[in-house]
Chain A
Amino acid sequence: MNIGVLVNALPGACAQGLIWGIMAIGVYLTYRILDLADLTVDGTMCTGGAVCIMMMLKGYSVWMALLVAFLAGMLAGLVTGLLHTFFGIPAILAGILTQLGLYSVNLRILGSKSNQAINVDKYDLLISLRYIKDVPFWKNTILVVAVITIILIALLYWFFGTELGCSIRATGSNANMSKAQGINTDFNKVLGLMISNGIVAFSSGLYAQYQGFADVNAGRGAIVIGLAAVIIGQVVFGRIHANFAFKLLFVSAGAIIYYLVLQVVMWFGLNSNDLKLISALVVAVFLALPHLKDKYSARRIKKGGESHA
């Protein structure tokens, strides 16, 4: 094992972590704020990239392509939101239905191909895995994505401090109370799902540029990576008393940590085919920890009681 290989791979892992951090912020909005597990993102994490790459191949600018990717994600969120609120389908199932449907939609967007490549030399990409080293610092992908992340966090910090944003937080915290205070909880859930999926699709657009192609399988297991970032961020930084903006920053940091750890694991000799299994295990362990901790401390109480008897 050559430590140089690992060190060389770290900037790339950092960039990937940052890009997925944006996606994880989208997941945070539904999972933590709205208290919904939204599986739509497995579909939108492909849709955004597909839209972005196809638009750019057609000659649109990168910002236009990212904007349309964002809107496409919002549309997917709208579908899930309406299935959930208007048609009364449980949120998880609504997300799965949209996600499954999106697979066909994504293939259509990609022109019935499973992937579409874009040449970094011919198109003016915002970020790329080629822009990690030997580029002017302002073009460096890590810097560009970090700046985008900070702008996004600032926007969300502002939005969730507005009357509308506060009412979305209230909807996730206590729906009964929200309705009693005249808040349209259905509307808020749909809006929250739209914003979340818009952000995920935007991140997907960035990720496709970074890799140099959009792939129909790009979103498989995305929800797990998003949750992993949210949970790692919470476990690592949870003890820090922080405002909303920093909580979002921790999510982004969680995604970076996730990718760095994966890089190390791969350096130890596991190959990229094992990544999904590792991801699933990491998330399962972190989700199980609070429960196991309670169980363990409960057992200790019982033992203590016996010895005193």
Chain B
Amino acid sequence: MLELKGLKKTFNAGTVNEKTALNGLNLRLEEGDFVTVIGGNGAGKSTMLNAIAGTWFVDEGSIHIDNLDVTKLSEHKRAQYLGRVFQDPMTGTAASMQIEENLALAARRGQPRTLRIGINNKERAFYKEQLRILDLGLEDRLTTGVGLLSGGQRQALTLLMATLKKPRLLLLDEHTAALDPKTAAKVLDATDRIVKKDNLTTIMITHNMKDAIAHGNRLVMMHEGRIIYDVSGEEKKSLTVADLLHKFEEVSGGEFANDRMILS
């Protein structure tokens, strides 16, 4: 359902800061795949998600969602197919607006914004129900300003917003990295539940190898803008962190993973 073919992206081309972030990236996802992505800093993980989301256009290659070529589609038009949760809890929500207003914006993703009322009572009941799934007590705070929520609450809300209108593809960019371990576990748990419930095709970047193994049906490892290891099914289930570390050393020629990856 998603196909990335020969993606290339170089930032600051022609300057001393030139950085090739994607270097001939190929990836094909089947319907219902839940892929976890690992790799060192600068491996191109986030760049890959941004390329899919259309934050900027790639230099080379093509991106197809459901056989539709979206390579040259602008970010806001592509959004109708995508649900996104970012690493920074501040990025995914509008702080100066209420919880229900944020949800109402998300519920209209991919629809033209008309002069109809921005949020009606029927939706409110639905949002309340959906917020209850998160189990954070937000269902009684529909009109609370999002700026008053904690990072974990905002991230959980962003997750709900990304999936409120069922996306064709869910993109999670280290969405628990900025949270404390307890909250991170809670948000991950909610992620699993939501993905399973709607059978969402999902790409989740994580720096936590245990999480990468524990979640999803497929795992890919990135290095220098390419996928260097792709494992799924039973083989993935039997993976250990040691296996991954070993694999990483093998392909990256010994230079190893940053502390962050080992420690977590």
Does A179 belong to the interface (CB within 8 Å)? yes
Which residues does chain B contribute within 8 Å of A164, judged by CB atoms?
Answer: 113-115
Known: A166-B101, A170-B105. A183 touches B113 (CB 8 A): yes
Looking at chain B, what size class is its interface with the partner chain? Answer: 20 to 34
Cβ of B113: which chain A residues have Cβ within 8 Å of it? Answer: 162-164, 166-167, 183
A163 x B115 contact (CB < 8 A): yes
**Beyond A161-B117, A161-B118, is A180–B92 a contact (Cβ under 8 Å)?**
yes
Q: Given B79, B95, B111, B117, which contacts A174 in the complex, CB threshold below 8 Å? A: B95
Q: Which residues of B contact A174 (CB under 8 A)?
A: 90-91, 93-95
- By CB atoms of chain A within 10 A, which of B75, B105, B110, B119 has the most? B105
Is the C-beta of A234 less than 8 angstroms from some C-beta in chain B?
Answer: no
Closest-CB distance, A164 to chain B (whole angstroms):
4
Smallest Cβ-Cβ distance to B147: which chain A residue: A173
- Cα A214 to Cα B149 in complex, Å, equals 50
Q: How far is the CA of A159 from the CA of B117 in the complex (A)?
A: 9
Complex contact A181–B106 (CB within 8 A): yes
Looking at the assembled complex, report how far the CB atom of A256 sits from the nearest CB atom of chain B, in whole angstroms: 26
Residue of B nearest to A187 (CB): B76
Q: Does B77 belong to the interface (CB within 8 Å)? A: yes
Contacts of B80 in A (CB 8 A): 182
Give the dominant DSSP class at A's interface: helix
Q: Count chain A residues whose beta carbon lies closer than 8 angstroms to a beta carbon of B.
A: 23
Of chain B, the residue at the smallest CB distance from A161 is B118
A11 within 8 A of B: no
Task: Flag whether B84 is at the interface (Cβ < 8 A).
Answer: yes
Whether A182 contacts B109 in the complex (CB less than 8 A), given A161-B118, A162-B118, A165-B118, comes out as yes
Q: A166-B104, A170-B105, A174-B91 are in contact. Are A182 and B110 (CB under 8 A)?
A: yes
Decide if B231 is an interface residue (CB 8 Å cutoff): no
Q: Nearest Cβ in chain A — how far from B85, in angstroms?
A: 9
In the complex, the answer to whether B91 meets A163 with C-beta atoms within 8 Å is no
Distance, CA A176 to CA B79, complexed state (A)? 11
A165 proximity list for chain B (CB < 8 A): 118
Q: A173-B97, A180-B53 are in contact. Are A163 and B92 (CB under 8 A)?
A: no
Least Cβ–Cβ distance between B157 and chain A, in angstroms: 11
Tell me the total A-B contact number using a CB cutoff of 8 A.
88
Q: Which chain A positions have C-beta within 8 A of B96?
A: 169, 172-173
* Nearest CB on B from A234, distance (A): 14
By beta carbon, the residue of chain A nearest B96 is: A173
Contact: B97 with A176, CB < 8 Å? no
State which residues 67-104 of B face A: CB under 8 Å. Answer: 75-77, 79-80, 82, 84, 86, 90-97, 101, 104
A178 to B116, CA, bound (A): 18
B172 is an interface residue with CB less than 8 A from chain A: no
- CB–CB A177/B93 < 8 A: yes
Q: Does B161 belong to the interface (CB within 8 Å)?
A: yes
Q: Does A185 touch B at the CB level, under 8 Å?
A: yes
Bound: A169/B82 CA distance, A: 22
B81 shortest CB reach to chain A, Å = 9
Residues of chain B contacted by A180 (CB below 8 angstroms): 53, 75, 79, 82, 84, 86, 92, 162
In contact, A179 and B114 (Cβ under 8 angstroms): no
Q: Is A104 an interface residue (CB 8 A)?
A: no
Residues on B with beta carbons closer than 8 Å to the beta carbon of A159: 115
20 sampled A-B residue pairs with Cβ under 8 A: A161-B117, A162-B113, A162-B117, A163-B108, A163-B117, A169-B94, A169-B97, A170-B94, A176-B91, A178-B76, A179-B75, A180-B53, A180-B75, A180-B79, A180-B162, A181-B105, A181-B109, A182-B80, A182-B110, A182-B111
State the 8 A-B residue pairs at the shortest beta-carbon distance, nearest first: A182-B79, A173-B94, A166-B118, A182-B109, A163-B113, A164-B113, A173-B96, A167-B113
